[in-house]
Amino acid sequence: MRRMIIFLLTVVLVMAFIVPVVAQEEKLPKMISFVSKPLGVYYVMTAGFARVFEKQTGIKAAVETAPSPFAYMPFFKRKEAALALVASEHPYQAYHGLAKYEKQGKTPLAYLGTGNKLPFMFWTIPGTGIKTVKDMAGKTVATRNPGSAMMEDFVRESLKADGVWDQVKGVTRPASNSETCQMLKEKKLDVIAMPPNPQLLEVEKAVGLVPIGPREEAIKKLTETPFWAQTTVKPGKFSVQKDINTAATVICIYTYKDLPDNIAYLLVKTLYENLDELKSVHRYFKEWSPKRAVENIAIPMHPGAIKYYKEKGVWTSEQEAVQKKLLSKGQ
């Protein structure tokens, strides 16, 4: 009898410690914040997901705005934002304190997943005589882009791979894709570089369009950096008549490193199990899937996200090896 009483008391004491921990793990906030630029594609996607998240979970989701991904980092350092959706160069550079993020210092971040790829391409119009990168020698090429360092990297590495970097008339293009496409249409520029977008379709309709991809050497050089990925643009729109291999920026969602696992899990579960609704928010969501979410990982994945991907059967030994390698490098 005495042993039974001691056993029961032990169980009660153990449960007294376990129950609060479990309750704490299962506790969810009443409100959650995302961060985005106030306008543009990423705001549309972020705000769309916020609406879906709130509807599916009952947790109020607000979208805070900041002028640029650079300005997002204070939100994550203060643990005020749970998610941002951007090109993966930004969390990669912020995580390591590189480039323009150097003065800010390293920001403790974690991936929640990767989504669509945005392929970078060169574009010219019929009549310029340009069919390859090598043909750009002596031509006016938009080599500088005030809105995208990645675009500049793409142009520079592509031109260098063909030995014409010093032979083009390099100019700075407008920050606006619409203005840049208008300059191409008016023959004020011979070559521009950007992902396929609706403004290019207007050029195609008005005067025609000639798509050009980089050499394999340039693609290989660019994809040595984790936030670049190789991709293939298929025939169809934008006057693409055959497969064109190129380099792409990877769009991702990320959070701060210490976000509770259950919230990270809920974020990715809600996103990937409501893709049918999100596809109507923006066409980029058509390319998102749990399988793609674990590809092209540039910084360590959040444990809460990994739990969901394991449940979906897409987190394999290959992903685990990548995660261990990223963690072993430290921050």
CA distance 269 to 263: 10
**For tokens 């391409």, what's the residue?**
121
HSE, side-chain direction, 13 A CA sphere, residue 318: 7
- For 82, 83, 156, 300, the CA distances from 63, given in Å and listed in that order, are 10, 9, 36, 24
The per-residue pLDDT string of the chain (331 residues; one tens digit each, 9 = 90 and over) reads 455 444 444 433 434 443 333 334 468 889 999 999 998 899 999 999 999 999 999 999 999 999 999 999 999 999 999 999 999 999 999 999 998 899 989 999 999 999 999 999 999 999 999 999 999 999 999 999 988 889 999 999 999 999 999 999 999 999 899 999 999 999 999 999 999 999 999 999 999 999 999 999 999 999 999 899 999 999 989 999 999 999 999 999 999 999 999 999 999 999 999 999 999 999 999 999 999 999 999 999 999 999 999 999 999 999 999 999 999 987 7
Cβ neighbours of residue 248 under 8 Å, at least 6 residues apart? 117, 118, 119, 120, 195, 228, 229, 230, 231
Q: Cβ neighbours of residue 17 under 8 Å, at least 6 residues apart?
A: none
154 in Cβ contact with 214 (< 8 Å)? yes
| Phi, psi values for residue 185, rounded to 5° | -65, -35
- Report the sign of the C-alpha dihedral through residues 159, 161, 165, 168, in that order: negative
pTM of the model: 0.85
Q: Which of 278, 286, 320 is nearest to 49 (CA)?
A: 278
211 bridge partner residues: 123
The encoded tokens of residue 130 equal 């340009």
**What pLDDT does 26 receive?**
61
Q: Are 108 and 242 in contact (CB under 8 A)?
A: no
Tokens linked to 191: 């070559």
Q: What is the DSSP letter of 301?
A: B
SS3 content of the chain, % helix, strand, coil (to 5): 45, 20, 35
Cα–Cα distance, 156 to 136 (Å, whole number): 12
Tokens 């521009």 belong to 192
* Intra-chain end-to-end CA distance of the chain, in Å: 56
In the CATH hierarchy, which top-level class contains the domain 23-116+252-328?
alpha beta
The alpha carbon of residue 295 and the mean position of all alpha carbons in its chain are separated, in whole angstroms, by 11
Q: Tokens for 172?
A: 């700075």
The full length of the chain comes to 331
Domain boundaries, the chain: 23-116+252-328, 119-249
CATH number of 119-249, picked from 3.40.50.1980, 3.40.640.10, 3.40.190.10, 3.40.50.150:
3.40.190.10
pLDDT for the residue numbered 27: 86
Judged by DSSP in three states, 111 sits in: strand
Q: Which helix (H) or strand (E) holds 217?
A: helix 216-222
The SS3 of residue 27 is coil
pLDDT of residue 19: 36
Which tokens belong to 161? 């791979």
Q: What is the pLDDT of residue 329?
A: 84
Do the domains at 23-116+252-328 and 119-249 have one common CATH topology?
Answer: yes
d(CA 113, CA 275): 14
Would you state the torsion angle of the CA atoms of residues 309, 311, 316, 320, taken in this order, to the nearest 10 degrees? 60
Largest CA distance in the chain: 98
Residue 62, C-beta contacts closer than 8 angstroms, at least 6 positions apart: 31, 32, 33, 34, 50
